[in-house]
Structures are given as structure tokens and as C-alpha cells.
Homo-oligomer: A and B are copies of this chain.
Amino acid sequence: MKWAYIEDIADFKDQEVELRGWVYNKRSGGKIRFLLIRDGTGMIQGTIYSEDKDHPLFQAFDQLTQESSLIVRGVVKEDKRAPGGFELGITDMEIIQTAQEYPITPKEHGIPFLMEHRHLWLRSQKQRAILQIRAELTKAIRDFFDNRGFRNLDTPILTPSACEGTTTLFETEYFDQKAYLSQSGQLYNEATAMAFGKVYCFGPTFRAEKSKTRKHLIEFWMVEPEVAFANLQDITDLAEDLIVSIVARILETRKTELDILERETSPLERVKKPFHRMKYGEILPDLKKKGSKIDWGDDFGAPEETILSEIYDSPVCITHFPAKIKAFYMQPDEENPDEVLGVDVFASEGYGELIGGGQRIHDLGLLEKRVKEHKLPRDAYEWYLDLRKYGSVPHSGFGLGLERTLSWICKIKHIREAIPFPRLLYKIYP
């Protein structure tokens, strides 16, 4: 008999199939028993009917506890009332394991308890919905870049130098040297962009930040495109296109999961081009009017992100930040060298920064000056400076945080649910 997955069950209407899965729930009523079975791809109701109250299937049914594993066989019947539209008339059942008392019951559990049991919590409906959307989002992002001719070039995790500041680096011994876990693939992307024109990397990145917020993970995934010959305008267009494309894809393909999460989708449906675009200097008065204490030269914090989403009901692109709050490689604005050609994209609904990026310095002299000003070890950056000696061109890129974006799309309260095994301050188990 054919081993079928529940997500394909419609293909087996009126046929006998074998399902392999776990007990999600069960209930009895007279001559009938109901078994809610999950197999990882979906959920189906199985029914056992008998006039004989001592029927062997009833006896097996009685042994089943929550999350017990089993193989069932039976005929797939269409039933419009059933969730998913199909039911299984069980004719045979094989218990693989009667589960011990499952720690996660339908009652409410505290977050610390659920986090300690993350390896089991993943089986819950909402967690599954979030992570299904995550998988789709990853695919949507990759498809977006692949379809536009970007080459996926992986950048290293173990690096000899720091990209963004040295206070939040994880350090490890690398044979006779020190190595650091990558905070961004950007510098390496700049090298591959000169070889391939349009590139992206997509992998885990690490920030040993001692902050405990709803928006930060210690280990998170980031996609970073880099484009040779692109300027701030080009890369802002690309950022917009990316966000519009991935949100549309989730709305189109993951409606079931958004429903499970009770996500009101109208804010996502409003994600259309063009986004509001303005300069840092232009938005400052509006932020202050709404209560922000920010002054020119200060970076945005959580209050500013919240205010931004009160003013605008869809994502916003902010450009031309003060140079002093941005990284050493940012291209200064020709007219106002105190400002850099950076762009940050902020989500709606208070979810904060999704994207940070901009145009990179392509002039060798200026970059050498910045390396010195920022007291970076010239040795470690020699290869990076080389990129400005041999056919340097204006180029731009950005990074989009996967978990930030997922948190926003799913409207979840804390980013820890946006990754299978979150790494948080002092938390590395399981």
C-alpha cells in the first residue's frame, strides 16, 4: 500500500493509503472514535467505526497518548465538513510508540518553559505555520535574485577581521591565529560583485550583542545582494522590488498559515511600489513633532521606529544618514559630505529596520583615509583596498534580515519564534 503524505491526500480520494504520523488529539463517541493525526505536512481526521466495543482498533485507540507515533491504513473519503476536506476511514493501525506524557498540552505554558522545550514546541500549529512561512520566504528571496541573474556566492563565516565594529564579535582560535564570526558578508560580496556583476550571499551572521529586545537574535540569517555599477537610487529600487515581491509571494502561497496565525493581511496588501522615500534630515522634524528626542546625528532607536510606523502604514525608505552613525565604507554625498548615501528600509506596524545598505566608497584614497580614521588594521583590509586599485567602480548593496522580515510578515511579538532554534542572550539550549 502506498505511503502517502497528508498534504497530497486529495490525490488519493476513494483509495486505500498508509499514513505515518503522530496523534495530535483524539475523542470518542459511542460507536465511533476520532483521531486527529499529523504527519508534518498536514493534519487529517481518522475515524474508527465499530458496533463491537471491544474491537481491536478501539483497544489500540485507548492506548494512544498525545504525540504517540503510528501507522494507519484506510480509505480516503471526501468530507466537506472536515478540516482539509478529507477524512480517513481507518481499517488498520500499528502503534510505533506510545508517547510518554507530553510536556506541551493544550493549556497555556510560560515562554521560558516553551523555550526550554523548543525541540517539541516546533510541533505546535502556530510554530509550524511560522516556520513554513520562513521556508517559503527563503525560497521567495532566492527566486527573486536568481530570476534577476544574481549569482549566489557564499561568503565565509570565519574571518580575520571585523566588518562592523569589534565590540560585538564572537572570537575563536583558528590554529595559530584569531578568527571572528562574520557579522556580514558585505566586504566579500564587494569582491565577488567585481567578478560576477550581480551577486548575493545568504547565510547565518552573528552579533554578540548584550541587548535583550524583541527584535534581536544573536545568530540570524541575512541575505545580502551587491551590484557593481549600482548607485543609491538603483539599490533602493532593488530593495523595494524585493520586499514587494516576497510579501506578494507569501500572500499568494501561504494563506493557510497566515490564517492559523490570525494575521490580518491588509497591512501586507498595502505593500506596493513606490515606498515613501525621504532623507534622514527631512523626516527628523516629523519624528520630533511626534515626541522623539532625536537630534541630527543620532541614530534611530525603537521610539523612532514606532513613530515612523504611526506616520506611515507601509514600509518607508530613509536615505542620507549622518556619516558618523554609519559604517566606514559608506559613500559620502557629494553635496553634503557629512551625509552618506545609505538607505534603511523600515517595516510598517512598528517592526523596525528590515534593510540596511547603500552605496560603498569606490575611491581608493578616501577609503584608505576612512580605514585610518576608524583605526582598522590596514593589513587585514589590504585585499579590500585592492578592489579600489583594479577597476574600481561605484557599487551598492544591502542586507535584509530574514527573521525581522518574517516577524513582520507573521506579526509575531518576539523574534525568537522566527527561527527554529533561537540563540539569545545567555540562551543556547536546546
CB within 8 Å for A151 and B135 given contacts A97-B392, A192-B122, A390-B99: yes
What separation, in Å, do the CA atoms of A119 and B390 have in the docked complex? 11
Instruction: Please determine whether A146 and B139 come into contact, CB atoms closer than 8 angstroms.
Output: yes
Cβ proximity bits A357-372 to B, threshold 8 Å, 1 near / 0 not = 0000010000000000
- Is A7 part of the contact surface with B, judged by Cβ < 8 Å? yes
Whether, in the assembled complex, A219 has its beta carbon less than 8 Å from a beta carbon of chain B, the answer is: yes
Interface string of A197-209 (1 = CB under 8 A from B): 1100001101010
- Distance between A133 CB and nearest chain B CB, rounded to angstroms: 11
Query: How many copies of this protein are present in the complex?
Result: 2
Partner of A428, one of B8, B117, B128, B174: B174
Min distance, Cβ A15 to any Cβ of chain B, angstroms: 19
A159 touches B (CB below 8 Å) = yes
Known interface pairs A102-B390, A392-B97. Does A7 touch B221 (Cβ–Cβ under 8 Å)? no
The interface residues of chain B lying within 8 Å CB-to-CB of A194 are 22, 40, 122-123
State A142–B41 Cα separation when bound (angstroms).
18
* B181 close to A172 (CB less than 8 A): yes
**Cross-chain contact A120 with B390 (CB below 8 angstroms):** yes
A119 to B173 CA separation, bound complex (whole angstroms) = 23
List chain B residues, Cβ under 8 A from A389.
99-100
CB-CB under 8 A from A181, the residues of chain B are 157, 172, 181
Q: Which residue of B lies closest to A389 (CB)?
A: B100
Residue from the set A219, A384, A394 with the largest chain B CB neighbour count within 10 Å: A219
Interface string of A233-267 (1 = CB under 8 A from B): 00000000000000000000000000000000000
> Nearest chain-B residue to A6 (Cβ)?
B197
Q: Which bucket holds chain A's interface residue count?
A: 35 or more
What per-residue 1/0 map shows which CB atoms of A380-414 lie under 8 Å from chain B?
A: 10111011011111100000000000000000000
Q: Establish whether residues B390 and A426, one from each chain, have CB atoms under 8 Å apart when the complex forms.
A: no
Residue interface bits A122-154, CB-to-B below 8 A is 1, else 0: 110001100110110011001000100101111
A40–B135 CB distance below 8 A: no
Residues of B within 8 A of A382 (CB): 430
18 pairs, CB–CB < 8 Å, chain A vs chain B:
A5-B197, A8-B149, A22-B194, A40-B151, A41-B149, A69-B392, A117-B386, A119-B188, A119-B383, A119-B384, A122-B194, A123-B195, A139-B152, A155-B420, A155-B421, A157-B181, A175-B208, A179-B428
